Structure 1
Amino acid sequence: MEHTWDLLNIIGTIAFAISGAIVAMEEDYDLLGAFILGLATAFGGGVVRNLLIGVPVETLWQQDGLLKLAIIVIAIVFFMPNGWIKHWRRWGNFFDALGLAAFAIQGALYAADMNHPISAVMVAAVLTGSGGGVIRDVLARRKPTVLQAEIYAVWAMLAGLVIGLGIATDIWHFYALFIIVVALRMFSVMYNWHLPRRSLRI
C-alpha cells in the first residue's frame, strides 16, 4: 500500500505541477508566480483534505522530496522553449486527468486507511483530486474547471466510492481504477460531456 501511495503521489505531483506552471504562463505570470501556482496546484488539495479528515497540516513539510520534485518540474517547464510549451499545452487536459486520478485515489486511500466512513472517503477523493485545481484557477482569476467545464470532480467521487465500498483492494485494482478515471476524464473532454446545468441569464 505504501508503494502505491508513493507512486500516486509522484504522478499527481508532476502532473499538477506542470498544469499549474502552464496556467501561470498562459496568464503571463513571472517565475515566482509560476512556482506559487504550480505548488498550489500540486499540494493545495492535499492540504485542504488533511484539514477536513484530521491530519496535521504540517505533514506537508514531511514531503520534502515531493516539494523538491515539484520545484524542479516547474522550473523545467518555465524555461522550456516556446515551441515545446505550445506542444505541451495540447496535453494540458491529459496532465490534469493524470493528476486528478492519482490524487483522487491517493486521497481516498488516505481516508479509508484512517477508517473514515464512505462519505469522508469520497470527500477526501474529491478534495485531493480537484482541490489544487480549484486553488489554481482562483489564483489565476479563472472560473474553476471543476464547477463549470466538462465532468471533472464526479470521476474523483467515483474513485472514492469504489475504494470506500471496498471494491478496489489491491495494487492492481488501484492501477486499473487510475486508468479508468483518466480515460473517463479524457472522454469528458473529447466528447464534451457535461452535467445538467441551468442559467438564469435572460
Structure 2
Amino acid sequence: MNQTVNWVYLIEIIGTIAFASSGALLAMEEHMDIFGVSILGVTTAVGGGIIRDVVLGNTPPNVFRNSSYVIVAIAVSVILFIGMYIKKQMDIKAFDRYKNLYDKAMLGMDAVGLGIFTVVGINTAVNKGYQDHTFLLIFVGMITGIGGGMMRDIMASRTPFVFVKHIYASASLAGAIIYIILMKQISTVASMTIAATIVVGIRVAAAHYKWNLPKV
C-alpha cells in the first residue's frame, strides 16, 4: 500500500511539472512577466485538482494542505522564465526562432499532464469510496485532467484547447474508461500507467495527424 501511495505521489509531481511547464510556456508566448508566468504555471498545475476536490467534498482542497505541488509549479515556472529570459537577452528573436520547438514542448508537457491527472483524479475518487459510481469517476478524472488547462487558456484570453484543438477531452475520456475497467483486473500502478500512457498517445497522435471531432 505504501509503495502505491508513494508511486501515486511521484506521478502527481511529474504531472505537476508537466502542466506547470505547459502553463509557463503559454504565458511566455503571450509575453507575460515573471508573475504572470508563475500564476499561469500554478493554475495549470493545480486548477483541475482544486475543482476535483470541491466536487468530492474534499475541503480545503489538497493543494492548500500540501504546499509541495504549488512550490514545484512555481519553481518550474521560474526556472523556465529565467532560462527564456537569458536566452532572449542573447538572441532577441529567440522565441520566434524556436517557436515550433516550444509548441512541441508545450504539446508534450500538456499531454503528459492530461494523462497523469486523468487517472490521479479517478484514483482520488476511488480512495474516497466512490469506486462504484462510474459516472462520477469519469467526470472527476476528466475535470482533473482538463480543468487546469481550461483555466490556463481562459486566463490567457484563448478559447480553451478542449473546445477547438484536435482530440483533447476525448483522450481523457478514453483513458478514464480504460482505467476504470483495468483497475478491477490488475494492480493500481499497472492500470494507472497503462491508462495514462494511452491518453498521452491519443493526444500526441491527434495533434500530429490533426484528428478533430466533427464541427461546423
Tell me whether the two structures share a fold, i.e. TM-score over 0.5: yes
- Shift of the alpha carbon at 1:173? 2.5
- Aligned residue identity for 2:30: E
Task: Give matches, 1:44-193, under 5 Å.
Answer: 44-80=47-83, 81-82=87-88, 86=98, 87-116=101-130, 117-165=133-181, 166-167=184-185, 169-193=187-211
Kept in 2: contact 1:12–1:103 (CA 8 A): yes
Which residue among 11, 18, 28 is the counterpart of 2:14? Answer: 11
2:209 aligned with 1:194? no
User: Residue type of the partner of 1:175?
Assistant: T
Partner of 2:45: 42
**CA deviation map 1:140-177 (0-9, x unaligned):** 00010011111111121222222333355431232122
Offset at 1:12?
A: 0.9
**Higher mean C-alpha deviation, range 80-89 or range 45-54:** 80-89
Q: 1:22-41 residue pairs with structure 2 within 5 A? A: 22-41=25-44
Instruction: Name structure 1 gaps, 5 residues minimum.
Output: none
Q: Distance in 2 between matches of 1:93 and 1:79?
A: 21
Under a length normalisation based on structure 2, what TM-score does the superposition of the two structures give? 0.85
Q: Secondary structure at the match of 2:17?
A: helix
Structure 1 distance, partners of 2:204, 2:126, is 27
Residues 167 and 128 from structure 1, CA distance in 2 versus in 1: closer, same or farther, beyond 3 angstroms? farther
What SS does the aligned partner of 2:157 have? coil
Q: 1:171 to 1:58 in 2, by over 3 A?
A: closer
- Does the 8 Å CA contact 1:156/1:181 hold for their aligned counterparts? yes
**1:14-62 deviation digits (Å, cap 9, x = unpaired):** 0011111111111111111111111000000100111112111342222
Partner SS, residue 38 of structure 1: helix
Q: Which has the larger radius of gyration?
A: 2
| 1:55 aligned partner, one-letter code | N
CA drift at 1:89 = 3.6
Q: Give me the CA root mean square deviation.
A: 1.7
Letter in 1 for 2:210: N
Q: TM-score, normalised by structure 1?
A: 0.91
Moved more, 13-22 or 86-95: 86-95
* Secondary structure at 1:36 match in 2: helix
